[in-house]
Structure 1
Amino acid sequence: MTTPVLTTEPPGRLHGTLRPRHLTMLAMGGVIGSGLFVGSGAGIALAGPGIVLSFAAAGVLTMLVMRMMAEMTAAFPSSGSFSAHAERAFGPWAGFTIGWLYWATLVVVLAVEATAAAVIVHGWLPAVPQWLLMLTFMAVFTAVNLTAVGNFGEFEFWFALIKVVAIVGFLVLGLLAILGVLPGGGSGAAAGSGGLLPHGWNGVVAGFVAAIPAFGGLEVVTIAAAESANPARAAAQAVRSAVWRISVFYIGSMIVVVSLLPWSDSRLGASPFVAVLDEIGVPAAGQIMNVIVVIALLSALNANTYAAARMVFSLAQRGQAPPSLSRLSRTGVPYPAVLASTSFGFVGVVLNLLWPRTIFLHLLNAVGAVLLLVWVLVACSQLRLRRDLPADTGVRMWGHPHLSRITLGVIGLLLVSMFVDPDTRVQMISSAVLASLVLSVALVRSRRAPA
């Protein structure tokens, strides 16, 4: 077996000005979005009260993947994160494939997030065209990402903090209602038809598949760690704190929802959070949640723009993207990479005008399973690199290699489940086609590369 050629980023290029609190909130800002506040209703419909078990299982799987990612990041900090680790483990083709797939996913998602935020704000300001709102959001967050990274980190810290406060407030109100202090308690899981698992364990598994995308975005912390003063320590601390906090928020929110409302309540389809706040009697619950959802979308847009720019910057430094994308401003910002990453968002303004109901659905299908493909390569890279990782980085994967292999097996079963399920088969096939195209380009480049 030949040893892969290792290509690394030149050291000391990016400025290490992100603080640990920035990294933690950046991770949470990238994760907590409309998938929790709105999309979790679909999971509840599939699993009923069993959605609590589904989210718990998704949280455990995410924790294991992030542990592997943090272990490699602590040893080999890189703005390319898992892309650079895959290249180190298997060669340039692996880093190229997963890096470009992840970048494509982020640029599609940030365009969708800008569109979704514009739709909500347009409802408040009907005189302002939706395309102009989307254009404004893209321009503002492009400008934010072109500032010094410390300013970006501070901006995202406060943005994400608003979402965290909103979830904590929801959990407190929900607990008071469950205890009988506020109205709305006593009509949830116990009163719902079918008991705790109305669709059996198959429903829990279906909810598990539906819950996984809600945890996507945590990987941004391993990308951002490269811009901290102590990447190894920052990655370990941020992953540990962000994963358990997000798991508590997500699982706690689902417990509140199914404890206060029957799982079959039609209001859950629109937004479980709004339905619960209405049940408790919070005035203007819908508008309050709309404000929080807009903040969540814009925060995720901000974090995803950052992650996309750093990923393509790393690819450029490793010779896997145009060299011009590796340029830095005097403040250490990869400004060509930022502009390249946000350009699709601006194109999305036009696409939204031409095909508002179809184009983004097709694009989201094409990248729908990429997160799981990223996780597959993370697990494979960790298993391959473990013998080369120093033991004193402060974060090690538990139960290696058995737990790493079990994690990889579970992800494989999830991919099979997505292919078997008619509701997710299109995503799986579309993502597989996209991955095959990118992989083909990677293999052609590898063959043409000088020995």
Structure 2
Amino acid sequence: MNGGDATQRTRQAFQPEHRSPAGDGERAEADTTLPRRLTSRQLSMITLGGAIGTGLFLGTSRAISQAGPAVIISYAIGALLALALAYALAEMASAHPLPGGFGTLAHAYLGSTAAFTQRWMYWMAQTINVGSEVTAISIYLRFWWPHVPAWLPVLTVSAFVLGVNLLAVGAFGEVEYWLSVGKVLAILTFIVTGTIVITVGLPTVPATGLHRWTDQGGFAPQGIGGIWTAMIAVTFSYMGTEAIALTAAESRDPARDIPRAARRTVVRLGLFYLLTIAVILSVDSWRHTAAGPSVTDSPFVRLFQTVGLPAAASVMNLVLLVAAVSAMNTNIYVTTRTMHGMANSGHAPRALARLRHGRPWNALAVSAFGLALAATMSAFAPVRAFEILVGISLFNALATWILIFATHIAFRRRGGGVVGTPTRLRGGVAIPLAAIGVLLAVLVTMGFVPPFRLAPLTGVPFLVALLLVHLILHRRRGRMPESQPDRT
């Protein structure tokens, strides 16, 4: 396939049927087109900011409780899934550097039904994920103020993050860059400190070595079943990798920056997760780490408590608080741009595509739904709120990933991609097919794990509702709001 011809056909396929409600096409486009002001440096950190959040800082306890030290295998499998996803997206974005991210690509290669379903499920996944991040913030604050009402920090931090997202995108990118830098420094500090404790020890703590990997039941005390069950929490940890595709509309040079940012993000994610888990398993008993099924504190903070540095523990908890704000900030950005893209393409009310001073205020207001839900759940179910929100978010995110891989399969079968490019996903369609199989198996497993059983019970009806809405719109208008893509 000729990349330029394919991009032109895809671009034409995604022009909405009615560009301007007022008849002034140029003015309407100016009112709904996001400015391109994000740099490659900011893109990398925005994606990293979304992918490294509560899944790493809090979710590790849940994963370790399922698999023991063998959870490192689960995280390695998750890293391979994230790697395949990032390269699939980067390859498609290089061929089609257009606004709309993977929703645009799904429409071109899978059709309007898949695009409509994927966009709405992803919006719901990230909207709920925002709620899980802000709920985690209230958990971190209990380290200092155990009696603070859970809903109070939810409302306070929500107001701050919404304010940041009202800034010009360049300013938002800079704020998120430095928030993510703080997060990366926290992880590096944890890894370095943990490595010292493991290898040579500290004046008050002897070197731990690696014996804890096989103590208390051996390397895999729960067997293969435990390794697999841990994949639920592990997959949630890698959520956010796909956000790189949604920055195309505001990237200064998407054809160059998106593949570069995707490669950097995946390498950093893999190293950070695997090294962090290795440290956690080495410096503390895995049963101790897994002893908090209510997710009341973080292994990051416990490390510094274990080595007798309570002041350092407070500093680390503060950094983790900043890290959660960073992930929340990125996820609000992602949900807002997803809704803006849906409105531009006719998959959501057109009014949500309008901008004020270059910012999608209307889309932002609707995407704050997750914050309202988190505040409500924190008030009425503070103990279970985090895991309930994680489960609901993960179901929709996994469905989104499956459709991304399905899009890549269709993309390849229609001759997409350029052989020899550094972002080409190796292995033909075998890799995305295998990834789809793994993700479907994780979805089924969620129905048998108590903390996540609610996810399929809410996710499946939501999926059915989306298909019914699509069918109604199709019959009412004779077609979806977007014209069908050229499949020749």
Partner of 1:450: 478
What CA deviation, in whole Å up to 9, does each residue of 1:234-286 have, x standing for no partner? 11011100011111010001111112223222576343223332333333354
Which residue, 265, 271, 274 being the options, matches 1:248? 271
Q: 1:75-90 to 2 correspondence within 5 Å?
A: 75-90=95-110
Q: Following TM superposition, by how much is the alpha carbon of 1:197 offset from its aligned partner in structure 2, in angstroms?
A: 1.7
Q: Following TM superposition, by how much is the alpha carbon of 1:62 offset from its aligned partner in structure 2, in angstroms?
A: 1.1
**TM-score, length-scaled by structure 2:** 0.84
Which one-letter code corresponds to 1:376 in the other structure?
A: I
How far, CA to CA, are the matches of 1:15 and 1:167 in structure 2? 33
Which residue, 237, 241, 261 being the options, matches 1:218? 241
How far, CA to CA, are the matches of 1:130 and 1:420 in structure 2? 29
Please say if 1:50 is aligned against 2:59. Answer: no
Is contact 2:61–2:289 with CA below 8 Å preserved after alignment? Answer: no
Is contact 1:107–1:305 with CA below 8 Å preserved after alignment? Answer: yes
Partner of 2:121: 101
Which residue, 300, 305, 314 being the options, matches 2:341? 314
List gaps (5 residues or longer) in structure 2. 1-8, 20-28, 480-488
How far, CA to CA, are the matches of 1:419 and 1:257 in structure 2? 28
Please say if 1:294 is aligned against 2:301. Answer: no
Q: Following TM superposition, by how much is the alpha carbon of 1:136 offset from its aligned partner in structure 2, in angstroms?
A: 2.6
Partner of 2:22: none
How far, CA to CA, are the matches of 2:451 and 2:365 in structure 1? 35
Distance 1:187 1:7, change over 3 A: closer
Partner of 2:456: 428
Q: 1:6-25 to 2 correspondence within 5 Å?
A: 6-8=13-15, 13-25=33-45
Is contact 2:167–2:359 with CA below 8 Å preserved after alignment? Answer: yes
Which one-letter code corresponds to 1:446 in the other structure?
A: H
Moved more, 396-405 or 248-257: 396-405
Is contact 1:16–1:227 with CA below 8 Å preserved after alignment? Answer: yes
How far, CA to CA, are the matches of 1:41 and 1:206 in structure 2? 13
Partner of 1:412: 440
Q: Following TM superposition, by how much is the alpha carbon of 1:63 offset from its aligned partner in structure 2, in angstroms?
A: 0.7
**TM-score, length-scaled by structure 1:** 0.90
How far, CA to CA, are the matches of 1:445 and 1:357 in structure 2? 40
Partner of 1:338: 364
What CA deviation, in whole Å up to 9, does each residue of 1:397-423 have, x standing for no partner? 111122222222222222233334455
Identical pairs, percent: 32
SS of the residue 1:197 aligns to = coil
Moved more, 173-182 or 388-397: 388-397
What CA deviation, in whole Å up to 9, does each residue of 1:306-356 have, x standing for no partner? 0001000000010111111111233x2222111221255246545644555
Equivalences, count: 448
Which one-letter code corresponds to 1:371 in the other structure?
A: A
Is contact 2:57–2:298 with CA below 8 Å preserved after alignment? Answer: yes
How far, CA to CA, are the matches of 2:145 and 2:284 in structure 1? 32
Is contact 1:188–1:263 with CA below 8 Å preserved after alignment? Answer: no
Please say if 1:378 is aligned against 2:404. Answer: yes
How far, CA to CA, are the matches of 1:268 and 1:67 in structure 2? 37
Is contact 1:122–1:129 with CA below 8 Å preserved after alignment? Answer: no
Distance 1:8 1:245, change over 3 A: farther
Q: 1:41-440 to 2 correspondence within 5 Å?
A: 41-121=61-141, 124=144, 131-182=151-202, 183=205, 184-186=207-209, 188-190=211-213, 192-265=215-288, 269=292, 270-330=297-357, 332-346=358-372, 348-349=374-375, 352-353=378-379, 356=382, 364-386=390-412, 387-391=414-418, 395-440=423-468
Distance 1:256 1:121, change over 3 A: closer
Q: Following TM superposition, by how much is the alpha carbon of 1:208 offset from its aligned partner in structure 2, in angstroms?
A: 2.5
Which one-letter code corresponds to 2:342 in the other structure?
A: L
Moved more, 172-181 or 417-426: 417-426
How far, CA to CA, are the matches of 1:204 and 1:372 in structure 2? 18
Is contact 1:267–1:275 with CA below 8 Å preserved after alignment? Answer: no
SS of the residue 1:397 aligns to = coil
What CA deviation, in whole Å up to 9, does each residue of 1:203-255 have, x standing for no partner? 22222332110000121121113211111211101110001111101000111
Moved more, 107-116 or 313-322: 107-116
How far, CA to CA, are the matches of 1:247 and 1:178 in structure 2? 21
How far, CA to CA, are the matches of 1:450 and 1:292 in structure 2? 53
Distance 1:201 1:366, change over 3 A: closer
Moved more, 30-39 or 79-88: 79-88
Distance 1:181 1:396, change over 3 A: same
How far, CA to CA, are the matches of 2:153 and 2:356 in structure 1? 28
How far, CA to CA, are the matches of 1:207 and 1:350 in structure 2? 28
Which one-letter code corresponds to 1:108 in the other structure?
A: I
Is contact 1:369–1:431 with CA below 8 Å preserved after alignment? Answer: yes
SS of the residue 1:368 aligns to = helix
Moved more, 129-138 or 167-176: 129-138
Is contact 2:65–2:290 with CA below 8 Å preserved after alignment? Answer: no
Q: Following TM superposition, by how much is the alpha carbon of 1:167 offset from its aligned partner in structure 2, in angstroms?
A: 0.5
Moved more, 157-166 or 178-187: 178-187
Is contact 1:368–1:431 with CA below 8 Å preserved after alignment? Answer: no
Moved more, 272-281 or 198-207: 272-281
